[in-house]
């Protein structure tokens, strides 16, 4: 942890520095990584202000507190920052472990494109289907016969092309019986 302490109208003693380091040690464990911490301590008559800014690799946290005692101000700011860090960590954990899609109507499972690891995973919640993106292709103007030859040459299961005669999109696909199927849009 890189700790920078600035004092306004107060001299930073070793006791203040150690107290701030002790209070921020838990924050370093929570955020799991190197931290850049900037602490500003200010005293004006009976106002004792502590402001702490923390920069980690996953986020930026800031808080300030004013009390009648500088140690109490540091303590309260550290507690606020811990709550912020816990909330941030929870948000990251929930985002990474989201299993099911937000709208099951949109998701589709295409097992032909899934990796063995994806197939081995058993989701906690049943999913209707999941959409798996494959390569994108430019829809070339071809005749249906040329598209069938290109499908055979590529080894893909499906080919989308623009019909050279009608200038409409069409699809050729490999059927289970070994023949080539053609899907043309209705007029």
Res 120: pLDDT: 53
121 pLDDT more than 70: no
* Domains 2-96 and 135-187 alike in fold: no
Res 91: pLDDT: 85
Fold of 2-96: Double Stranded RNA Binding Domain (3.30.160)
Res 125: pLDDT: 56
Between residues 123 and 184, which one has the greater pLDDT? 184
107 pLDDT more than 50: no
167 pLDDT more than 80: yes
Sequence spans of domains, the chain = 2-96, 99-134, 135-187
How does residue 18 score in pLDDT terms, banded at 50, 70 and 90? Answer: very high
Res 109: pLDDT: 43
How does residue 78 score in pLDDT terms, banded at 50, 70 and 90? Answer: very high
Phi, psi angles (nearest 5°) of residue 10: -155, 145
Angle at 8 between CA 7 and CA 12, to 5 degrees: 25
The pair of three-digit structure tokens given for residue 179, joined into one six-digit string: 């023949």
Cα separation, 168 vs 187, whole angstroms? 10
Which string of DSSP letters, residue by residue, matches 106-156? T----TTT--HHHHH---SS--S------------EE-HHHHHHHHHHH--
| Mean pLDDT computed over every residue of the chain | 81
Res 131: pLDDT: 76
Q: Which CATH architecture has domain 135-187?
A: 2-Layer Sandwich (3.30)
Is the entire prediction scored with pTM above 0.85? no
Q: Worst-scoring range by mean pLDDT, 31-45, 97-111, 132-146?
A: 97-111
Q: Worst-scoring range by mean pLDDT, 43-57, 122-136, 161-175?
A: 122-136
The dihedral over CA atoms of 7, 40, 1, 34, expressed in degrees to the nearest 10, equals: -150
Res 43: pLDDT: 94
- In DSSP terms, 38 is beta-bridged to 4, 53
177 pLDDT more than 60: yes
Residues 98-109, mean pLDDT to the nearest whole number: 47
């Amino acid at each position: 942890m890189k700790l920078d302490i600035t004092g306004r109208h107060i001299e930073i003693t070793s006791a203040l520095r150690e107290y701030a380091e002790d209070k921020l040690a838990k924050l370093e464990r929570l955020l799991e990584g190197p931290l850049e911490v900037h602490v500003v301590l200010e005293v004006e008559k009976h106002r004792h202000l502590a402001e702490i800014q923390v920069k980690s690799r996953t986020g930026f946290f800031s808080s300030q507190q004013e009390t009648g005692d500088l140690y109490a101000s540091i303590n309260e700011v550290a507690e606020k920052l811990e709550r912020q860090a816990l909330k941030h960590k929870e948000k990251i954990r929930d985002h990474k472990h989201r299993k099911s899609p937000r709208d099951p109507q949109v998701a589709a499972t295409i097992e032909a494109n899934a990796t063995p690891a994806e197939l081995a995973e058993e989701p906690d919640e049943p999913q209707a289907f999941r959409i798996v993106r494959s390569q994108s292709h430019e829809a070339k103007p071809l005749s249906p016969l040329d598209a069938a030859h290109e499908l055979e040459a590529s080894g893909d299961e499906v080919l989308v092309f623009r019909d050279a005669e009608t200038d409409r999109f069409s699809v050729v696909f490999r059927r289970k019986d070994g023949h080539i199927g053609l899907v043309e849009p209705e007029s």
